[in-house]
Structure 1
Amino acid sequence: MTLLSKRLQAVYQMVDKDTRVADIGSDHAYLPVELIENDVCHFAIAGEVAKGPMSRSKEDVEKFGLSNNIDVRLGDGLAVIKADDQIDTVVIAGMGGILIQNILTRATEEQLSHVKTLVLQPNIGEPLVRHWLVENGFEIVDEDIVNEEHHVYEIIKAGRVDKTKPLTEAQFLMGPVLMTKKSPTFVAKWQHKLNGYHKALENMKHAKEIDQAKIDLMNQYIKYIKEIL
């Protein structure tokens, strides 16, 4: 996998074989190119919201001779998907959790009609993404966490289900699958967060105006993290 960063390699690993994929905010179409080149899927859409990135993605797709397999389209979020594309897997990687949540919320029934799997990689705001999934008929089936260039990324894979299982606040915060895997990267992330929360708590206690609600929330987070670690 020469084109993909460590973060995108982790996303790549989450895509099931023989699927039809839409990569939203594709960035050079590197992920679709790797998926097609390695026979993971045979058709992909690379969606871009601006003309500049779309042109770059088109150039790369043509360079690899994959124009018949990868359709580069201009559009906002899932607007690049049509029902007859029969897209069953949507990837949204490298955006904030609020933006990912907004993109999914704005998606129409037609755009999501065939979608069975979502592979999401928020840069921040992971709990927001998990809340959206549970509230919209998706169950988290796998998660991964990678450290790349001093930033920790979480990848969330979810499948459509008839009835979702509720998550605890700790699971929304830390990830239900990540909590069970407890990888060294996961432990390091939350140890660092724990230290940060302790410092923030000390600062809050010495502030001129005490924000009790914030202090209570911070104490709750500290309790969750300590229990899991």
Structure 2
Amino acid sequence: MTLLSKRLQAVYQMVDKDTRVADIGSDHAYLPVELIEEKICQFAIAGEVAPGPISRSKADVDKFGLSKQIDVRLGDGLAVIKPEDQIDTVVIAGMGGILIQNILTRATVDQLSNVKTLILQPNIGEPLVRHWLVENNFEIVDEDIVEEEHHVYEIIKANKVEQAKPLNSAQFLMGPVLMTKKTPTFIAKWQHKLNSYQKAVENMSHAKKIDQAKIDLMNQDIKYIEEIL
């Protein structure tokens, strides 16, 4: 996996074998190239929303001689997917949670018709992504957390089901699978967040105008974190 950063390696590990993948916001098409080279997937779309990234991705795909198996397409979000592509796995990595949520919400029935698996890596706003998944009947089946260059990234894998199991507030916040794995990276992240939240509550309590509702919400998060840690 020479092309992939630690973050993208974690995404790569979640892709099932013999799938057809659309990588939305592909960034040099590194992930599709690796998936095809290692014979994990049979066909991939590298989707880009701007002409600059498109030309870079096309150059990389051509360099590896993979233009027959990787189609680099210009389009907004899942608009690059056509029903005849039979895409069953969609990857959206390296964006904010709000943007990922918007991309998925704007997707049409046709674009999602064959999709069985979503692999999402929000840079921030992970609870928003988990809410969308549950509300749209995607069951979270795996999660990972990695630190790279002083930033912690969470990767969420979800499969389409008839009825997704509900999550509680702590699971939306911290991740249902991550809470059970409790890796050192997970513990370090939430210990840091816990300290930040406690300081914020302390500061808010001494403010001239006290926002009790905000303090109560933060105290609730503190309680969840303390229980899990």
Q: Deviations over 1:105-151 (max 9, x none)?
A: 00000000000000000000000000000000100000000000000
Unaligned runs of 5+ in 2: none
* Cα distance, 1:189 vs structure 2: 0.2
- In structure 1, the residue corresponding to 2:91 is in which secondary structure? strand
Q: Give 1:57 shift.
A: 0.1
Partner of 1:34: 34
Whole-angstrom CA distance in 2 between matches of 1:61 and 1:169: 42
How far apart are the structure 2 equivalents of 1:199 and 1:212?
Answer: 15
What is the aligned partner in structure 1 of residue 100 from structure 2? 100
User: 2:130 corresponds to which residue?
Assistant: 130
Separation in 2, partners of 1:214, 1:67: 52
Query: After the TM superposition, which residues 62-211 of structure 1 pair with which residues of structure 2 at under 5 Å, given as runs?
Result: 62-211=62-211
SS at structure 2 position matched to 1:42: strand
Letter in 2 for 1:27: D
Residues 11-53 of structure 1 deviation map (CA, whole Å, 9 limit, x = unaligned):
0000000000000000000000000000000100000000000
* AA at the equivalent of 1:9: Q
Letter in 2 for 1:6: K
- Inter-partner Cα distance in structure 1 for 2:14 and 2:65: 25
Cα separation, 2, equivalents of 1:47 and 1:196: 37
The list of structure 1 runs, each at least 4 consecutive aligned residues, that deviate by more than 6 angstroms after superposition, is none
What's the CA shift for 1:220? Answer: 0.2
- Please list, as runs of the form range in 1=range in 2, the aligned pairs for 1:206-217 lying within 5 A after superposition: 206-217=206-217
DSSP 3-state at the match of 1:58: helix
Q: Give 1:3's aligned residue.
A: 3
Separation in 2 of the partners of 1:89 and 1:112?
10
The yes-or-no answer on 1:59 pairing with 2:59 is: yes
The alignment's TM-score, normalised by the length of structure 2, stands at: 1.00
SS in 1 for 2:207: coil
Q: Distance in 1 between matches of 2:97 and 2:60?
A: 28
Structure 1: gaps of 5 or more residues: none
Aligned with 1:115: secondary structure? coil
* Post-superposition CA distance 1:160-194 (Å, at most 9, x none): 00011000000000000000000000000000000
Counterpart Cα distance in 2 of 1:155 and 1:52: 26
Aligned equivalent of 1:221: 221
Partners of 2:128 and 2:103 in 1: CA distance = 13
Determine the C-alpha separation between the residues in 2 that align with 1:164 and 1:2.
36
Partner AA of 2:13 in structure 1: Q
Tell me the residue number matched to 2:15: 15
Mapped to 1, the partners of 2:172 and 2:217 lie a distance apart of: 14
CA distance in 1, matches of 2:2, 2:162: 38
Q: Paired residues, what number?
A: 229
Q: Identity across aligned pairs (percent)?
A: 85
Amino acid aligned to 1:81: I
Counterparts of 2:42 and 2:114, CA distance in 1: 16
